[in-house]
Amino acid sequence: MSPPSSRSAGPPVPREGETVIYTDGSCLGNPGPGGWAWAVVGGGYASGADPLSTNQRMEITAVLRALEASSGPVLIMSDSTYVVNCFRDRWYEGWKRRGWRNAAGKPVANRDLWEPLLALALDPGRSVRFGWVKGHSGDAMNDRVDLLATEAAARQKGEAAELFRG
């Protein structure tokens, strides 16, 4: 997978007071049984499952659940260019302007997830930033959420804890 379209010198550096949360989605078949996960660097984590989903839906769900479970300033780290580019390149502005249609004039996929995610991520009272991490590249936290999401998809059961087991 190629990096997000907005180029930068590297991954964003966490700001003081900012919680760094890694997210990932997984799907066994596309569509098929799905799983999502998030984990806070040095903190808690959660995962969940959906019996019939797509990888993109699980990627969005992971970020949505992470933001629902957190407060204060957040840096979301994701290997999903779909999610990261939506925020970095402000795709959502065009979607809203076109009545939730994409550039090709088709309905935006996963609108039912994008709308609540946008409400949380764009809340003017909270700082939420997005950074991209290459999947399956040896990043320990990305590998952890990948494993959690894949396990949730396979077992069709999520888990949560205050401190990551690993």
Mean pLDDT by 10 residues, the chain (166 residues): 51 86 96 97 94 97 97 96 96 97 96 98 96 91 97 97 64
Domain count across the chain: 1
* Catalytic annotation, residues: 24-25, 59, 79, 136, 146
Q: Hey, is 22 helix, strand or coil?
A: strand
**How many CA atoms lie within 13 Å of 154's alpha carbon, on the beta-carbon side?**
6
pLDDT reported for residue 137 = 86
In a domain, 131, yes or no: yes
**Domain interval for residue 117:** 19-161
In a domain, 4, yes or no: no
In a domain, 103, yes or no: yes
In a domain, 120, yes or no: yes
* Cβ–Cβ < 8 Å for 67, 125: no
In a domain, 3, yes or no: no
pLDDT reported for residue 13 = 86
- pTM of the shown model: 0.91
Taking the C-alpha atoms of residue 133 and residue 165, their distance in angstroms, rounded to an integer, is: 21
In a domain, 11, yes or no: no
Q: Hey, is 2 helix, strand or coil?
A: coil
Q: What is the CATH number of the domain that holds 129?
A: 3.30.420.10
Taking the C-alpha atoms of residue 38 and residue 69, their distance in angstroms, rounded to an integer, is: 10
pLDDT reported for residue 26 = 97
Taking the C-alpha atoms of residue 115 and residue 47, their distance in angstroms, rounded to an integer, is: 21
Taking the C-alpha atoms of residue 153 and residue 50, their distance in angstroms, rounded to an integer, is: 7
| Chain center to CA of 140 | 16
In a domain, 112, yes or no: yes
